[in-house]
Amino acid sequence: MKSFGILLPRMGVCLSITAVGVALAACSGAGSPARTSTAIPAIQPTPTVEALVEPQSSANEVFTLGAELYAANCQVCHGDSNGIGGTGGAPPHNKGGHTWHHPDAQLREWVLNGKLGFGSPGMPALGDKLAEPEVDAILTFIKTWWTAEQRSSQADISQRYHEALEKQSGQ
């Protein structure tokens, strides 16, 4: 019986150690599945009405056409987007120039029918080479060289010019 008396306290100690070990193992998460990180998708801006109404490919086509027509008909005199390469004193159409001070209707008129210049031969008429939609594509292209403020100002100038022409023709 003496041996049973010694064995019982040791068994209690072993059970206690085992219970503590099981509890620690359960708390450590060693047997639980590995955590995976779930990426949260980036929030995309809501498209504008214009972007939904007019397909992007159409805008790209107008831009590309404008770039090609500008390179073929305008760049030799007016230069590139940096105003470099223009000859004969023609003003650059970039943000450093003054093209954005004029309404679209006036710019279109000058491209199609020409314009006398001051101290230079002037703007040749390109109406025999370009149609109005092609001139509009060129204008769309060069407007990308302007600042947002310049584009906004030029849009206001174009609107006021259009309203003045309508008022004048109504009298």
Domain assignment present for residue 87? The answer is yes
Domain assignment present for residue 69? The answer is yes
Chain Cα centroid distance, residue 120:
37
Count CB-CB contacts under 10 A for residue 34.
5
- d(Cα 77, Cα 59) in Å, to the nearest integer? 26
Domain assignment present for residue 36? The answer is no
Domain assignment present for residue 86? The answer is yes
Taking the complete model, does pTM exceed 0.85, yes or no? no
Quote the domain boundaries for residue 99: 52-170
Q: Specify whether the CB–CB gap between 91 and 78 falls below 8 A.
A: yes
Domain assignment present for residue 109? The answer is yes
- pLDDT digit string (tens) for the chain, length 171 residues: 555 555 555 555 555 565 555 555 555 555 555 555 555 555 555 455 455 445 566 789 999 999 999 999 999 999 999 988 888 678 899 999 999 999 999 999 999 999 987 766 789 999 999 999 999 999 999 999 999 999 999 999 999 999 999 999 886
Name the burial class of residue 93, with classes exposed (0-12), middle (13-18) and buried (19+) by CB atoms within 10 angstroms of its CB.
buried
Q: Give the domain CATH number at 125.
A: 1.10.760.10
Question: Which of 62, 65, 86 has its CA nearest to residue 74?
Answer: 86
Domain count within the chain: 1
